Amino acid sequence: MNPAVIPAIIEQHAEEAAFLWILRRHAVHAPHYKLKDLAKLDGRVEAHLDGLRIAGAEGWRFCEEGLRFGEAGEVFAAAVLALENRDMGKLEEVIAVAEQSPDSVAGLVSALGWVEPQRLSGRVRQWLSSHSSLRRYVGIAACAVHRVTPGAILDNLLRIDKVPFQLQARALRAAGELKRQDLIYAIRNQLGAEDIACRFWASWSAVLLGDRGEALEVLKAFVTTGSPFSERALPMALRVMRPEASNSWLKGLAQYPERQRDVVIGASLVGDPLYVPWLIKRMETPELARVAGESFSLISGVDIAYEDLEGERPEGFESGPNENPEDENVALDADEDLPWPDPKKIHTWWEAHKHRFQRGTRYLSGAPITEAQCRKILLEGYQRQRTAAALELALLHSEACLFEVRAPGWRQQRLLRQTP
C-alpha cells in the first residue's frame, strides 16, 4: 500500500462518486437544474473520481469492493476507472456484474458516455461484433450517447430475426437519436413488433425521422392506452401533430378524469397560449397545481420562483411517502422539485403580458419555436426545458442528431460553444 494513501479517505471517494452519480441520474431530468448546475454536480463527481485515480491500486480496490452490491452507481465509478486505464481484466469484472444485475447496466452505459470517445477506441468495435447481447447492447448505447453511428450493425439488428428484444429496442432508439434516415423502412417494419418496447422505439424513431402516418398513430396509441411508455410518447406525438389535430386529441383525453395530468402536460407541448387561462384554473387543484405551473412556464418563459409568483403549499395536502407505517403509498412525489404557483398572482401577470403572445403560434419558454430559441434554451434553460428544446431542434432539421442533454455538463458546454 502507498503510505501516502489513507484508506478511509479513498473509501469515501468511492462511496461519494457512486452516491453523486445517483443524484446526477435524477438531476438530468429535474425541473430545477440548469446546464451550469449539472456541470457543477459533474465537477463534484469528477473530483471524487480523481481521488480514486490518484490512489491507483487502492482506488480500484475500493471500487471493486463496491461492485459486490451490484448497484448502478458503484458500476459507474468502477467502469470509468477501468475504461480510462484500458484495463480489460477490470472491465470484464464490471461487465460480469452488469450481466448479473440488469439494473446496474445504466451505470455502465453512463460511464461509457462519461469518458472521452478516444478511450473507447477499439473496445466498442469488439462489443458490436460480440455474440453477447449485453456487449452489443452497451456497444450500441456507447455509440448513441456519443452520437457516433455504429455503421451497418444497426441495419443488421433491425433486419435479423431472433435478436433479443432489449437489444433490438436499443437499436431502434439509436436509429432515431442518430437520425439514420437510411433505416426508415427497417424501422417501420417493426411498428407491429411483438415486444412493446420495440414497437414504442420503432414508432418514436420513425416519427423523429419524419413519418407522420402509421408511426404517429402507433405512438399516439401508447398515450391513449395508458401504457408504460405513455410519458415518453406524449412529447413526441404532440410536438409533431398539426395544431387543430393536437387540440382535438387533448380534448378527447380531457374526457377521462384520470388523464387530467396528461392534458395539463400536453398543453405545454402544444405550446399555444390559448391554453394559459385554462392552466391557471388548474393551479387551483392541488394535485395539478405544480405541474400546471410548469406547463405555464414552458409556454410563457416565466420562472415562477424567480418572479415571486409562488404560493403556499395547500394545508393538509399530502403527496409521496409519509411517516405513517400503515400507508402503502411509497411512490415519490413527481412534482417535488416544482414550486407551488399562486393562481391569482399568475393571472395578474398574464393579464399584463398576454398581448405579447399570439394564439395559434407555438411557444417554448416565452418565444416562438425557432432554431435560435432552441439553442438559447439549451444554453440557459432548465433540464426539462432543454429536453424539449433538443427535441424541437431535431424535428426542425432532418439530418441533425438529437442533442444529448444528459451528457457530462462540461462536454455539453463545449459542444454548444462550438455550434454557430
Provide the terminal-to-terminal Cα distance of the chain, rounded to the nearest Å: 50
DSSP codes of every residue in 255-290: TSGGGHHHHHHHHHHH--GGGHHHHHHHTTSHHHHH
- Residue 29 is predicted with a pLDDT of 97
Q: What is the dihedral of CA 169, 170, 174, 176, to 10 degrees?
A: 20
Is 89 within 8 Å of 47 (Cβ atoms)?
no
Interval 57-62 mean pLDDT = 95
How many H-runs (helices) and E-runs (strands) does the chain carry? 22, 2
The pLDDT, as a whole number, for residue 325 is 54
Mean pLDDT of the chain: 94
Is the distance from CB of 394 to CB of 239 less than 8 angstroms?
A: no
Looking at residue 4, its pLDDT comes to: 63
pLDDT (average), residues 126-140: 95
Would you say 266 and 238 are in contact if contact means Cβ atoms under 8 Å apart?
A: yes
Q: Are 336 and 313 spatial neighbours (Cβ–Cβ below 8 Å)? A: no
Rounded-to-integer distance, Cα 9 and Cα 14, Å: 9
pLDDT at 322 over 60: no
d(CA 399, CA 409): 24
Strand-pairing partners, residue 367, are 364
* Averaged pLDDT for residues 278-290: 97
The answer, yes or no, to whether residue 99 has pLDDT greater than 70, is: yes
User: So what's the pLDDT on residue 319?
Assistant: 77
Which residues pair with residue 310 across a beta bridge?
A: 341
Q: Using DSSP, state whether 310 is helix, strand or coil.
A: strand
Q: Cβ of 257: how many Cβ atoms within 10 Å?
A: 6
Number of residues in the chain = 420
The owner of cell 473507447 is: 120
Beta-bridged to residue 341, according to DSSP, are 310
The pLDDT, as a whole number, for residue 399 is 87
Contact 367, 301 (CB under 8 A): yes
For position 418, what pLDDT does the model report?
82
Q: What is the pLDDT of residues 224-275, one digit of tens each?
A: 999 999 999 999 999 999 989 999 999 999 999 999 999 999 999 999 999 9
* One-letter identity of residue 207: V
Q: How far apart are CA 54 and CA 10, in angstroms?
A: 10
Per DSSP, the residues of 21-64 read HHHHHHHTT-TT-BHHHHHHHHHHHHHHHHHHHHHTHHHHHHHH
Candidate from 33-42, 49-58, 304-313, 323-332 with smallest mean pLDDT:
323-332
Task: Indicate the pLDDT class of residue 320, thresholds 50, 70 and 90.
Answer: low
> What are the boundaries of each domain within the chain?
1-126
Q: For a pLDDT cut of 70, what percent of the chain falls above it?
A: 96
Global pTM reads 0.94
- Averaged over 20-31, what is the pLDDT? 98
Helices 7-27 and 72-84, axial angle in degrees (round to 10) = 110
Name, in order, each residue with C-beta under 8 angstroms of 148's C-beta and a sequence gap of 6 or more: 117, 178
Residue 136 has pLDDT above 90, yes or no: yes
User: Does the structure show a pLDDT above 80 at 365?
Assistant: yes
Q: Which pLDDT score is estimated for 348? A: 98
Neighbours of 333 (CB within 10 A): 12
Contacts of 281 (CB under 8 A, 6+ apart): 343
Instruction: Calculate the CA dihedral of residues 175, 181, 184, 185 and round it to 10 degrees.
Output: -130
pLDDT band for position 324 (50/70/90)? low
Range 277-292 average pLDDT: 98
401/181 Cα distance (integer angstroms): 11
Helix, coil or strand: residue 399: coil
Res 357 pLDDT > 60: yes
